[in-house]
Structure 1
Amino acid sequence: MDWTLLILLVVPTVVHGNPTVTVRTGSGPPVGSDQHPNSVPLSEDTQTTTEVMVEVMTTGVLNPSHYPARRAATVVQHYLNTLYGSPYRWIFLSKVHSGSAEDVAEMRKYQLELTMQETISNVSGQCSAELLFPRGEGQSAPQVQASYEGLLQSNTTAQEEAFYQQHRASNNMVSGNDIPDSYGHMEPSMKPFWHLGGVASSFIMLRESNESTLYNMAQVANFTQLETEKDQLRFNYHVLLHEMISQEIIHWKLLVTWSPEQGVQVLQTELQPKSHDCEAPPNTTN
């Protein structure tokens, strides 16, 4: 009988570059999550419907389409909204062109080149930004510096002044619920209040952001106008924020003021307890 000697050659594989772990989550959110159907993705690159991409963060040049760069870029979006947002100006991240990260003392420093878009007028502009994420014990807001070109070209003065005078002089305090509703619909008269809620939410999302978060406003659960004080329109807001990495829906109550001269200010914030009894409405798109 002839014997054939089989020699198996085992060749070790060397993996280069940054490792990426893909976590399959099936057709729905992770078990125990509080995902809300009105959550609005920031762009197609950040949608996580069947997969969550977990990136190992490194120093040096970042892939513009991967989470480390996009998380940092979204913080710039929130920062710009706290400075320039209004019921008629709401800024969103359009594209990350390039980015880099390095460790500096007790901080992590990001340099980014971005395109930002003002969603109401559809005007876009180039933005250069530097972010510092504090490290160590305790949570503190990232530090942001940004310069931009062309982003604020749209003139919203007339619209803002008309909105301000209408609601400053009215005896009927306006209020609203579920903006947008379970089908993604909102009345045209509610859109400025939706924008104002989104801008006010940026104050929270900026403060709460770190290198492991990606925040987006999902819905204005409700808002109520209060009496005008010191020429400022005042509102109580209850907003739902979608943390897109953990898929949690987080409830916050805000006391918000606005006028064309003073801009948006968030005077009080209150994190609400998690609710596990609410049945989520059907999936929607905004």
Structure 2
Amino acid sequence: MSLVMVVVLAAFAGVTGSPCATIRPEAASLDVSNHSSSVLQGQQEKVSAVVKAEEDVMATGELNPNHYPARRAAQVVQHYLNTRYGSPYRLFGLHRVHSGHAEDVADTGRKYKLEITVQEFISNTTEKLSAEVLFPRGESQGSPQVHASCQELLKISIKSQEEALYQQYKTNQSLLKTHLPDSYGNIEPDMQPFWHLGILASSFIMLNESNENTLYNMAQVANITQLATENDQLKFDYGILLHEMVSQEIIHWKLLFTWSPSEGVKVLQMEQLPRCHCEKPPNIN
């Protein structure tokens, strides 16, 4: 076995399940000369290229359900379900990836076929389902195309809770303005629905922005402002912080959307704001 492949295998042993497999030059001793550093960096770049090639191979055919190519596609399914069926009282998350398979589809892109278990967090119930995710490629690359449904989780009735929340904030004399969590890291019980609303609304961004090189989680609802509206929808301006796990960037988005029990979330505007120099949050699934 070549030295390069030994290093590659050692790298994989240290990063199993991680979205990043680059060995950083900063790990070299500070006493190494400039010439030696450039040679070492060149070797590491070659190793990184081999690792990337290994990841490309690993992302085709049968997938390890614990590695990030399968989990990345499965989290896209999570975002899709939130955009279609989510509510302040119904919120979907990825519970487990059972199996995955990836294949190239002509010049269209790469299709992932998945068996996953989805969790509805508020009722703490789960459902196993099949899903397909197509990541488009080429000049017309857009958001992923998803086929999935969850019948059992939709049977849980939330109409009375939604209607009570809607009526309370439809008739409020003062419009809501806050951020979550508060300065002490707490979310009051009556604010939980707006935290959930921020998570499902952020799924619209994450679904739209996801590709084969990204892995998003919502980190924080930076601010919430309820806006006046003349129709039957509650209208909100949210500031959302997303954690992009591959680049380790914190990305700040502005979301303008409406919500009502009958219409669900309708996104009016998504705007990425200038880079936020924020402390990186812990990994949040």
Query: Tell me, which stretches of 5 or more residues in structure 1 are unaligned?
Result: 1-10, 27-52
Q: Distance in 1 between matches of 2:148 and 2:182?
A: 34
**Count of aligned pairs between the two proteins:** 246
Distance 1:96 1:249 in 2: 26
Q: Compared with structure 1, are the counterparts of its residues 74 and 15 closer, same or farther at alpha carbon in structure 2 (3 Å cutoff)? A: same
1:20-71 deviation digits (Å, cap 9, x = unpaired): 6445889xxxxxxxxxxxxxxxxxxxxxxxxxx9760332100000000000
Cα distance between partner residues in 2 of 1:183 and 1:170: 26
CA contact (8 A) 1:221 1:238 kept: yes
Aligned to 1:136: 138
Where does residue 55 of structure 2 map in the other structure? 56
Q: How does 1:255-274 map to 2 (within 5 A)?
A: 255-274=256-275
**TM-score, normalised by the number of residues in structure 1:** 0.78
Whether 2:149 is the aligned partner of 1:147: answer yes
The 3 A distance-change label for structure 1 pair 231 and 92 is same
The unaligned stretches of length 5 or more in structure 2 are: 16-20, 25-50
TM-score, L = length of structure 2: 0.78
**In structure 2, how many angstroms separate the alpha carbons of the residues matched to 1:182 and 1:246?**
27
The one-letter code sitting in structure 1 at the alignment partner of 2:71 is R
Aligned partners of 2:152 and 2:229: how far apart in 1?
33
Give the aligned residue type for 1:264: V
Cα deviation for residue 275 of structure 1 reads 3.2
Task: Report what 1:169 is aligned to.
Answer: 171
Question: Hey, what's the Cα distance between the residues in 2 that align with 1:203 and 1:89?
Answer: 15
Q: Is the 8 A contact 2:250 2:280 kept in 1?
A: no
Q: Which residue is equivalent to 2:200?
A: 199
Q: Does 1:216 align with 2:221?
A: no
Residue in structure 2 matched with residue 30 of structure 1 by the alignment? none
Trace 1:28-177 onto structure 2 (pairs within 5 A): 56-58=55-57, 59-106=60-107, 107-137=109-139, 139-177=141-179
Question: Could you tell me whether the CA contact under 8 Å between 1:184 and 1:284 is conserved in 2?
Answer: no
- Quickly say closer, same or farther: Cα 1:282–1:267, change in 2 above 3 A: closer
Say which SS state the counterpart of residue 211 (structure 2) adopts: coil
In the aligned structure 1, how far is the partner of 2:88 from the partner of 2:114? 27
Counterpart amino acid of 1:84?
Y
Q: What is the rounded CA distance, in whole Å, between the counterparts of 1:223 and 1:240 in structure 2?
A: 12
Structure with greater helix share of residues: 2
Note the alpha carbon deviations across 1:79-112, whole angstroms, 9 max, x for none. Answer: 0000011111110000000000000012101100
Match of 1:48 in 2: none
Distance 1:61 1:283 in 2: 30
Q: Which amino acid aligns with 1:174?
A: L
**Per-residue displacement from partner, 1:127-177 (whole Å, max 9, x unpaired)?**
210111111236410100013342223211111000001111111101112
Decide whether aligned partners of structure 1 residues 12 and 165 sit closer, same or farther in structure 2, where only a CA change above 3 A counts: closer
Deviation at 1:281, TM superposition (A): 9.1
Is the 1:234–1:256 Cα contact (8 Å) retained in structure 2? yes
Identify if the C-alpha distance between structure 1 residues 129 and 231 changes in structure 2 by more than 3 Å, giving closer, same or farther.
same
1:123 Cα deviation from its structure 2 partner: 1.3
Cα offset for 1:191? 0.8
Q: Partners of 1:72 and 1:254 in 2: how far apart?
A: 24
**Higher relative contact order by CA 8 Å / sep ≥ 6: 1 or 2?**
1
Contact 2:252–2:274 (CA under 8 A) maintained in structure 1: yes
Cα RMSD of the aligned pairs, angstroms, is 2.8
Runs of 4+ that moved beyond 3 A: 11-16, 18-26, 181-184, 280-286
One-letter code aligned to 1:173: L
Aligned residue type for 1:60: G
